[in-house]
């Protein structure tokens, strides 16, 4: 697989929704096989997202009670063709 088209993921975590007491976690990916599904595990929460025609996906979850500012959030994504990626982010607090 060409390095320019290798699948990648991005993880975003934050306690930045005003008035809410949870940590939001967002996972996005690109360069995945279109029309396939990805399985996602983020801090023990599991989910599935469909990959769009352009090879991208988006998925989000919430964690209650909220994680502390700066806490590490780890994510694993499994996709078609044996794709397995890990990513992380630290919890952002405004």
The pLDDT tens digits for 46-88 are 999 999 999 999 999 999 999 999 999 999 999 999 999 999 9
Domain count, the chain: 1
The pTM of this model reads: 0.92
Range of the domain at 47: 3-90
Q: Which two tokens stand for residue 92?
A: 């952002």
Query: Distance (Å, rounded) from C-alpha 51 to C-alpha 40?
Result: 12
Residue 45: which CATH number? 2.60.40.230
Q: Which two tokens stand for residue 41?
A: 């595990």
């Amino acid at each position: 697989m060409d390095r320019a088209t290798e699948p990648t993921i991005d993880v975003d975590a934050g306690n930045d929704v005003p008035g809410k007491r949870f940590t939001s976690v967002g996972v996005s990916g690109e360069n995945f096989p279109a029309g396939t599904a990805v399985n996602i595990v983020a801090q023990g929460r599991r989910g599935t997202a469909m990959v769009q025609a352009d090879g991208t996906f988006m998925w989000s979850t919430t964690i209650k009670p909220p994680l502390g500012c700066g806490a590490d959030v780890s994510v694993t994504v499994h996709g078609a063709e044996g794709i397995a990626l890990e990513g992380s982010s630290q919890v952002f607090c405004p």
